[in-house]
Chains A and B, each alone.
Chain A
Amino acid sequence: MIHPIPPGSRDVLPGEMRELRRLNRALIEVFEERGYGEVATPTIEYDEVMARGDGRASGAYRFFDESGELLALRSDMTVPIARLVASRFADAEMPLRLCYLASTFRAVTPQRGQLREVVQAGIELIGAPASEGTAEVVEVLEAALDAAGLDRAVIGLGDSDLYRQLLAEYGLEAGAQDAILARLARHDLVGLEVELGEAGIGEEQVATCVGLSQLRGGAEVLEQARELGGGAVERAIARLGETYAALEARGVAERVRIDMGLLRDLGYYSGAILEVYDPALGYVLGGGGRYDRLMHNFGLDLPAAGFGLYVERVHLAQMEEQRRARGET
């Protein structure tokens, strides 16, 4: 007899569990070896805590407890860890290195087979500013990808402040900026051009914005971006250039592609942002970046950075890479 489970949820049976356990153990080992202590936080947080981190991180699954408090299943691990650090480690010696392996909960589109519960493995480095802090996070991320056997994986490195600063430089109001940023975040370049045109800025400036969003590759991208010009671009290039130099100094720049068009959908990022790709998989494997303003929302002024990998996708990429290594397609 079949007893159904809710759409977007799933059981894990021993065959898969064995592989997932091995992968999870390898990831946590990489983190622990580099001084990142594993923490666990409650699956259920006060909704107010999630929203304090970022309005958009407010949970998809919310409910009232017996005393009428609004609770939420966590949609993200960075916000709960920011709360934990503010409560438990306010006076600790910085930088603080923490890691996690935890389920997060997302809204799904019906009928698409998407999972509501997503296991993430990641780190948070609190109290280490750019560019060294960012470089350390990328170094750990690369070690994690190696441990997962994804030696073809690539890390995209972008700057989350670039477009807001650029649009402010063009004299656009916050409302017009949001409409344009939304197009960028949705990767709608046709709409981006239309939206920029309607914002009443010059043709040259429209071309700069659209051109920037398509610049991606090695260090040469920084030069190409410089030619497009502007103070905001110059500042972003300076930030990215410093980070890239720090990566080179650590010998971990090779797998990093600079991507001037990168924009992550969570609002708490500032400065460097990261996305992880593997050629065997059409989906992003994870992401992260700096969130120097997030800790401030919890009463601590500390720079911070981190990343999270979607473990099920890493597992899938692992299987595809192994299949490829066997010469199958």
Chain B
Amino acid sequence: MNVAVAGSRTVPGGKLKLAVPRGALFGETLDVLDAAGVDTAELRGDSRSLIFETEQLTLVTMRPSDVPTYVESGAADVGITGKDVLLEQADRAVYELLDLGFGRCRMVLAGRRGDNRLGESQRRLGMMRIATKYPRIAADYFEGTGRQIELIEVKGSVELAPLIGLGDGIVDLVATGRTLAENDLEVREEIVVCTARFVANRVAHKLRAEEVDDLTARLRAASRTLEAAR
């Protein structure tokens, strides 16, 4: 069990706090919340606020990659984020309660179209140089498939790396594949499919069981309705 003491304050009682991911998952997160009976009209405006009160929930908006941090510590009781984030931060102890089905992406290994750098490096150097924003997922994948890599962690547009000679290929999240295509990259291997997940703090899951279960049931129904409509 992880034993962390710092930064684990919560305000007890009150409304459940739900961590809402800004960015690519934001729109569909609001749709599924609406369908589950949570009023998100305020979040859809151009307010710069980060915290929004609804009748039953306090909605806290943040970067998707911060959601596990807030939920693990109990600063947020529940949250929505991508499976890619949860895999990359697998050491965060949160309950993963529900696959919401939207935000479907693939984590892939990609290389330059028509170029065999990946294969050549593997053959002649015994390892591939892989640029990624997901070092943990990449390391686990290659270890699990018995190949050695040199990890190059970057923060921004990872497609750039192999184009100008940083690494032989990339591990990245692909939704439509357009960014890859535009940068002359192609998918070589699929690692895992990621969708949005509903997560809960370990203590909130126990001590606020009814509220958490109720919200889980409503989100499950809402995500199924939306999925059927898609």
Contacts and interface: CB of A to CB of B under 8 A. Distances in A.
Contacts, number: 96
Contact of A109 (B13, B91, B98, B204): B91
B3 A257 contact: no
B95 A187 contact: yes
Interface residues of A, number: 40
B8 A188 contact: no
Contact of A187 (B73, B96, B207): B96
Q: How large is the interface on B (under 10, 10 to 19, 20 to 34, 35 or more residues)?
A: 35 or more
B175 to A, nearest CB: 20
Interface string B172-194: 00000000000000000000000
Interface stretch (B35-43, B108-116, B195-203): B195-203
B6 A113 contact: yes
Given A114-B2, A154-B206, A156-B206, A190 B8 contact: no
A316 B5 contact: yes
Given A189-B97, A329-B11, A282 B1 contact: no
A106 interface: yes
Interface in A218-275: 257, 259, 265, 275
Contacts of A310: 3
Given A187-B94, A280-B10, A280-B12, A118 B3 contact: yes
A283 B97 contact: no
B9 to A, nearest CB: 6
B213 interface: yes
A152 B98 CA distance: 29
Nearest to A194: B99
B68 to A, nearest CB: 12
Interface in A68-117: 106, 108-109, 112-115
Given A190-B197, A312-B5, A259 B206 contact: yes
Contact of A282 (B72, B91, B97): B72
Nearest to B13: A279
Contacts of B13: 279
Nearest to A118: B3
Contacts of B75: 282
A280 B91 CA distance: 23
Given A281-B74, A282-B8, A283-B73, A114 B203 contact: no
Contacts of A188: 96
B202 A113 contact: no
B93 A190 contact: no
Contact of A114 (B3, B12, B95, B201): B3
B203 A281 contact: yes
Contacts of A217: 209
Nearest to A284: B202
Interface string A174-218: 000000000000111111000000000000000000000010110
Interface of A: 106, 108-109, 112-115, 118, 152, 154, 156, 186-191, 214, 216-217, 257, 259, 265, 275, 277-284, 287, 310, 312-313, 316, 320, 324, 329
A-B pairs, top 4 by smallest CB distance, nearest first, are A282-B74, A187-B95, A279-B12, A113-B6
15 contacts: A112-B4, A113-B4, A187-B202, A189-B97, A190-B98, A275-B206, A281-B74, A282-B74, A282-B75, A282-B201, A283-B8, A283-B73, A313-B3, A320-B12, A329-B11
